[in-house]
Homo-oligomer: A and B are copies of this chain.
Amino acid sequence: MKVALAQTNPIIGDFEYNLNKIDSAINQAKERSCDLIVFSELMLPGYPPRDLLEKNRFIESNLICLDRLLASTTGIGVICGYVEKNLNPGGNPLYNSAALFENGRMLHVARKRLLPAYDIFDERRYFEPARDCSSIKYKGYRIGLTICEDVWNDKDVFQRQIYPIDPVDLMVKDGANLIINISASPFYVGKRDFRLKMLSRISQKYGVCLLYANQVGGNDSILFDGNSCAFNTKGELIAQARDFEEDLVVVDLEKKTGDVHEVSDSEMASLEKSLVIGTRDYVTKCGFSKAIIGLSGGIDSALTACIAVSALGAENVTTLFMPSEYTSQDNFEDTKCLADNLGVQFLNIPIHDIFMAFIKFISPEFNPREPGVTEQNLQARIRGTLLMAMSNRDGALLLSTGNKSELAMGYCTLYGDMNGGLAVISDVPKTMVYDLARFINTQKETIPLSIIEKPPSAELKPDQTDQDDLPPYELLDPVLKAYIEDFKGADDLVGMGFDPKLVGSIISRVDQNEYKRHQAPPGLKVTSKAFGYGRRYPLAQRYAPFSEKG
């Protein structure tokens, strides 16, 4: 049996668009004489549809499209993810399902058994978990048809099984000799390696072939890396689709061979690709083609501009430099040079006059040598307002440029530099921002070296550098990672050797600034725990990680 793994980039709710993608992949697979083509999880509506699933008509449309697809496809078997109604009188009203059909006949429907309800996942909100773990006979194979999380509960891979059953195990016991998994598995740096090892281990342990078809592309914060793949019964990789691109790979199950396409060979390469596709998809799926970015002369906005140009093309990116009296001449030159390297439009609007028009009312006694938080924020808000005015005027989406370290510490101004439709690097820690900038420069020196080498500064008061207000990033970032991504507490961090005072001050700043992040634009998720949808903290709370007497 020859199987095509179709790795597509759907638009949520655009059923016609998604059907066209499906049709064209089916044609490709038929040209290559495939017996079966496998699409990703919820390919018909796109993943994740979230509360669109609560709209009756949305479900109906998805079912009508499935019917059309079923009626119009001949000469090849199809596995495709869709939303099924739960016709039982009780339980959640929907299933997250995979249909297997051929020549107008529905052969099998597999329903997702394990419904994730952690991080960005809310599947218990919509779907009823299925219990059935039987396999299905198809063209000489017994297929165990699974959906994403269904393969993520292996007792040899995970210390704790959060679900009571392991569908793969049960299906193999039911005779399955081919496990197919359709996924919409979100990306983070390092995830691909983990996922490949897990899938390989499963296929090796059970001595079964395993086919894995994953969604690709960005939907709001969530990025899907693709990396669809296949394993033989020894757990060896026999097919591999590209990362962060639509692709189709064919596997010959008898010959145990398949297409092996090139993928990123380093974490930085996949990080860059993920941010580029995430930016492109957000901007274009929202109906924009142009973007606008405020350039400060610092590395964050420089990196954001590079990504935007890769995503949208230089002709679609406008940059705006907005100096104040605290802005150094160097920053103007560096920014100009960057804009020239990128070939983007470059505007220069000094903010002094606007600033003084505000100051008259707010701080009549203002001393320009000593701007307080009010005056510092005011500068950022004037810039944010200018950027939004340009965005309104030109119909260009504003991209914000803050990194994860500053967002964590609240070292950013709400309604100022946090303004934007998309926060491109808000999940990239500052030290990783440097790494990625250097990586991008290895391809072509786009970012002027002086931007990479100067000490970071918000330039909101005289001679300011980030290190006046923040611990050095080399110290800060590991603490933030341990606290946010690895769920370490204050005591754990001290136990790991970090200075207790440093830990206390970092943690309390992270916690105190939850309210700013609550109003932040969506940010592209590239770590295992990003701020935003997958991290849900109360704002009005007084949990003090160090202080309980207990």
Q: Taking each of A90, A91, A490, A549, which has the highest tally of chain B beta carbons within 10 Å of its own beta carbon?
A: A90
| CB-based contact B389/A515 at 8 Å | no
Interface 1/0 per residue, A164-185 and B, CB below 8 Å: 1000000000000000000000
Q: Are B386 and A374 in contact (CB under 8 A)?
A: no
A509 proximal to B (CB < 8 A): no
| Residues of the B chain whose Cβ atoms lie less than 8 Å from the Cβ of A15 | 548
**Bound Cα distance A66, B373 (Å):** 42
- In the complex the two chains form, is B164's CB within 8 Å of A90's CB? yes
Question: Do the beta carbons of B286 and A515 come within 8 Å of each other?
Answer: yes
> Contact between B93 and A160 (Cβ–Cβ < 8 Å)?
yes
Query: B64 touching A550 by the CB < 8 A rule?
Result: yes
Q: Does A138 contact B (CB under 8 A)?
A: no
The answer, yes or no, to whether A439 is at the interface (CB within 8 Å) is no
- In the bound complex, do residue B419 and residue A50 qualify as a contact, i.e. CB atoms below 8 Å apart? no
The reply to whether A540 and B286 form a contact with Cβ atoms under 8 Å apart is yes
A102 to B545, CA, bound (A): 30
Q: Are B385 and A16 in contact (CB under 8 A)?
A: no
The answer to whether A538 and B415 touch (CB under 8 A), given A61-B548, A160-B93, A489-B56, is no
Question: Can you tell how many copies of this chain the complex includes?
Answer: 2
Assess A541 versus B52: contact at CB under 8 Å? Given A160-B93, A388-B381, A389-B378.
yes
A57-B491, A117-B124 known; A282 and B540 CB under 8 Å? yes
Docked Cα-Cα span, A162 to B88, in Å, equals 10
Contact call B358/A389, Cβ cutoff below 8 A = yes
Measured between alpha carbons, how far is A386 from B91 in the docked complex, in Å? 51
In this complex, the interface size class of chain A, counting residues with CB under 8 Å from chain B, is: 35 or more
The answer, yes or no, to whether A202 is at the interface (CB within 8 Å) is no
Q: Is A281 in contact with chain B by the CB < 8 A criterion?
A: yes
What string of 1s and 0s marks CB contacts (under 8 Å) between A81-92 and chain B?
000000001111
Q: Which residues of B contact A281 (CB under 8 A)?
A: 540
C-alpha spacing A414/B541, complex, angstroms: 26
| Minimal Cβ-Cβ distance residue in B for A362 | B389
Instruction: Tell yes or no: A14 within 8 A of B by CB.
Output: yes
Which residues 420-440 of A have a CB within 8 angstroms of B?
A: 421
Residue of A65, A117, A163, A487 most packed against chain B (CB within 10 A): A117
Interface stretch of the complex, out of A263-271, A452-460, A517-525: A517-525
Stretch at the interface among A225-233, A250-258, A309-317, A349-357: A349-357
Pick from B48, B393, B535, B540: contact of A374, CB under 8 Å: B393
- Collect the chain B residues with CB atoms within 8 Å of residue A186's CB: none
Contacting B at CB under 8 A, from A250-292, are 281-282, 285-286
Query: Are B384 and A160 in contact (CB-based, < 8 A)?
Result: no
- Contact indicator A386/B362 (Cβ below 8 Å): yes
Contact of A358 among B118, B220, B354, B373 (CB under 8 A): B354
Q: Tell me whether A17 is interfacial, beta carbon within 8 Å.
A: yes
Q: How far is the CA of A547 from the CA of B189 in the complex (A)?
A: 39
A382 within 8 Å of B (CB atoms): yes
| A157 surroundings in chain B (CB, below 8 A) | none
Q: How far is the CA of A428 from the CA of B143 in the complex (A)?
A: 53
Q: Mark A137-150, 1 if CB is under 8 A from B, else 0.
A: 00000000000000
A10 to B503, CA, bound (A): 27
Would you call B357 and A374 a contact (CB within 8 A)? no
A60 at the interface (CB under 8 A from B): yes
Instruction: Report the Cα distance A62→B17, complex, angstroms.
Output: 51
Measuring CB to CB, which residues of chain A are less than 8 angstroms from any residue of chain B? 11-17, 46, 48-52, 54-58, 60-61, 64-65, 89-93, 117-118, 122, 124-125, 160-164, 218-220, 281-282, 285-286, 349, 353-354, 357-358, 360-363, 373-374, 377-378, 381-382, 384-386, 388-390, 392-393, 414-415, 419, 421, 487, 489-491, 515, 518-522, 535-545, 548-550
A-B contact pairs, 6 of them (CB 8 A): A52-B538, A55-B487, A65-B550, A90-B160, A90-B161, A374-B392
The 3 A-B residue pairs with the shortest CB-CB distance, nearest first, are A13-B543, A285-B540, A12-B541
